[in-house]
Structure 1
Amino acid sequence: MDASVVAVSRSPTHSFSKPNADGIRLVAGMGVEGDAHAGETVKHRSRVKVDPGQPNLRQVHLIHAELFDELARKGFSVAPGEMGENITTRGLDLLALPVGARLHLGASAVVELTGLRNPCVQIDRIRKGLMAAVLDRDREGRLVLKAGVMGIVLTGGEVRPGDGIAVTLPPEPHRRLKRV
């Protein structure tokens, strides 16, 4: 199966969920045009309190639709945008990609992955128990954060549902994604 964009979402406010849109515009060095988290410096409120001048490594939030399938098997109904992501994908194991992987979205947009989304208790406000459902343990007992990945916009462009996604990996050695 080829990787593709399932849905795109944005919100001008710091609401947790983001409404779906027909398309979004990614702006280089900024993020999603019209989204509250766009900017060169960090916009997530908890991070602004610590250091408002730190670079925004969380300009774009992506979640794989396969997570929603997994959650449905556990009794949770979650739709694209509800967990605050800007881009919902299918056919791509986002969590297995390394730091610096570049996602080519649509005709021109390029997002470089910076790390994993650090899920917060707000997820339980969507559905009670959802926070625990997006966490897991690997074979070595390490915590696995499944609530998506974060990235920065290298090249701007329009992104719409149905757009293809191509991946360019960085030079080896690859570094595992960690929370940002």
Structure 2
Amino acid sequence: MLHDLLNVDGTVTALSISQSKGEKKSNIPSAQFIVGHGIDGDAHAGDWHRQVSLLGTESIAKIIAAGMDVHPGDFAENVTTTGIRLWELPIGTQLQLGDTVRLEVTQIGKTCHQHCKIFQQVGDCVMPREGIFARVLQGGMARVGDTLIILKAATEEALTP
């Protein structure tokens, strides 16, 4: 499974930020990633393990198929991607966006504190299972359309206690 992921490149299909937590994120054409912080101007950035959130269009398509009109950023993800099964990446995997931005996967999924509007209407939400979180190892500018590659894959054995 991990070997298959290493041979696939993805694409950044959207970048999104919000000024305040709890509000819908707005799409932007490019974003400045700051080492140890996250995306400049995003409310969720800070000195913690969930500096940046990522979700694949493959995951969003599942909710669209259930009848919801959703778009990149509606799940509060910062980076929407195509081409890599993000939820299969082990914690510790390093990704590169564009020429310079390097991220390290720190968490797969999250606990849904309160069922979001998407869950209330469809009975499901993919972010708690398929969204991933990362910290910024190397900053720089990323743009919609940039390539997303797996630089270094962590082994699943390394995650076993």
Query: TM-score, normalising length from structure 2?
Result: 0.84
1:95 pairs with one of 87, 99, 107 = 87
Aligned with residue 57 of structure 2, among 51, 54, 65: 65
Matched, 1:17 2:24: yes
Could you tell me how far 1:24 is from its partner in structure 2?
A: 0.7
Runs of 5+ consecutive residues of structure 1 not aligned to the other structure: 41-55, 136-143
Aligned to 1:48: none
1:49-74 CA-to-partner distances (Å, cap 9, x unmatched) read xxxxxxx1100000001111111111
| Residue aligning to 1:175 | 159
Q: Secondary structure at the match of 1:100?
A: coil
What's the secondary structure of 2:145's corresponding residue? Answer: coil
Structure 1 or 2: more strand by fraction = 2
Say whether the 8 Å CA contact 2:29–2:143 is kept in structure 1: yes
Moved more, 89-98 or 118-127: 118-127
Aligned mates of 2:49, 2:122 — CA distance in 1: 25
Question: Which residue among 126, 139, 142 is the counterpart of 1:134?
Answer: 126
Quick check: 1:99–1:174 contact (8 Å CA) kept in 2? no
Write the mapping of 1:1-40 to structure 2, written as runs, cut at 5 A: 2-40=9-47
Structure 2 CA distance for aligned equivalents of residues 154 and 107 of structure 1: 13
Residues 174 and 129 of structure 1: is their aligned pair in 2 closer, same or farther, counting only changes over 3 Å?
Answer: farther
Q: TM-score with structure 1 length normalisation?
A: 0.76
Unaligned runs of 5+ in 2: 1-7
- Name 1:77's counterpart in structure 2: 69
Quote the residue 2:106 is aligned against: 114
Task: Name the counterpart of 1:163.
Answer: 146
Contact 1:28 1:156 in 2 (8 A): yes
User: Tell me, what secondary structure is at the counterpart of 1:8?
Assistant: strand
